[in-house]
Amino acid sequence: MNQLDALKQYTTVVADTGDFHQMAAFRPQDATTNPSLILKAVQKPDYQPLLAQTVQRFRGRSLDELTDRLLVRFGCEILSIIPGRVSTEVDARLSFDTQATVTRAERLIELYQAEGIHCDRVLIKIAATWEGIAAAARLERRGIRTNLTLLFAFCQAVACGQAGVQLISPFVGRIYDWAKKNAGSTWVEADRAGANDPGVQSVRAIYQYYKQFGIATEVMGASFRNLGQITALAGCDLLTISPDLLAALAASEAPLQRALDPAAAREADRLPVQLDEPGFRLALNEDAMATEKLAEGIRAFCADAARLDRLLAA
């Protein structure tokens, strides 16, 4: 059994790509996209007709509507390949506007429904700011399921659990990147690999906390840099993995064992945490890594959203 098939015994495998032509070979359950992945995909020759068709069909509409229709077109194509759900992201430029995020999310769902896709097969991705989490709480109460992304801090996970969001995506690789850069010459890769990887440790702490206190929010590790990070999180509810790492897993027959166990997590001895808005903002501010990476991630997604706007306008 290769490592990809072994991983699927313990964890729901999700494809982290906008390139749906790559998905069938790996048979993922779900798929995730973001502005950067869609931008990358539409610049490939295989996907340029899809971009042109969307613009031609809805010529004269606003850029934000064209963007949403393009995202939904990609989502529909993905859902024709996978059996589960697709995550589609709200414009990152709305990350600090609760009402605008809710309105945009509702339009995305309406566009999916107009294409015959039930809302149960769509997760709306939203940045895990305080405003984004508040928007997700409102959407969840309306039956729209959400995926809170750009999650780096334990306080973000606590707030998402309190809000009753469907799923969170803690970013393993970006936490690792920050820790490695911050350590500089003192970093020893072998000492911080596998279970000792700072990104892995972050996800494990969130997973254990959720399982101990019966929080139903799903944990989906994301943004991986190497196979060791993935195998160290075998057993996590879901893992979203790029096509190159999916291929590496499929090519490896090294043994893979479950690393995260919900039964063991429920036996942990921790205290519950409750966060209001001031407590959340203070806790996030105290976490230099999370503060920096959240801001950096939003900036990058905003930049790619603007590039996609220019591509649509052209």
The one catalytic residue in 8, 125, 180, 293 is 125
pLDDT digits (tens, 9 = 90+) for 91-131: 999 999 999 999 999 999 999 999 999 999 999 999 999 99
Q: How many domains does the chain have?
A: 1
Do 231 and 11 meet the contact criterion of CB atoms below 8 Å apart?
Answer: no
| Helices marked H in the chain | 3-7, 35-42, 48-57, 63-79, 98-114, 130-141, 154-163, 172-183, 198-212, 227-231, 243-251, 262-266, 277-286, 288-313
The residue among 147, 24, 21, 148 whose CA lies nearest residue 82 is 24
CA quadruple 62, 64, 67, 72: dihedral, nearest 10: -100
| The two structure tokens encoding residue 238 | 């879901």
Element of type H or E holding 147: strand 146-151
Read off the amino acid at residue 202: S
Alpha-carbon gap, residue 135 to 100, rounded angstroms: 9
Write out the residue range of the structural domain in which residue 133 sits. 3-313
pLDDT of residue 266: 85
Active site residue 125: yes
CATH number, residue 31:
3.20.20.70
Three-state DSSP at 13 gives: strand
Q: What is the pTM of this model?
A: 0.95
pLDDT of residue 19: 86
**Which residue stretches of the chain have pLDDT < 70?**
none
In DSSP terms, 168 is beta-bridged to: 148, 219
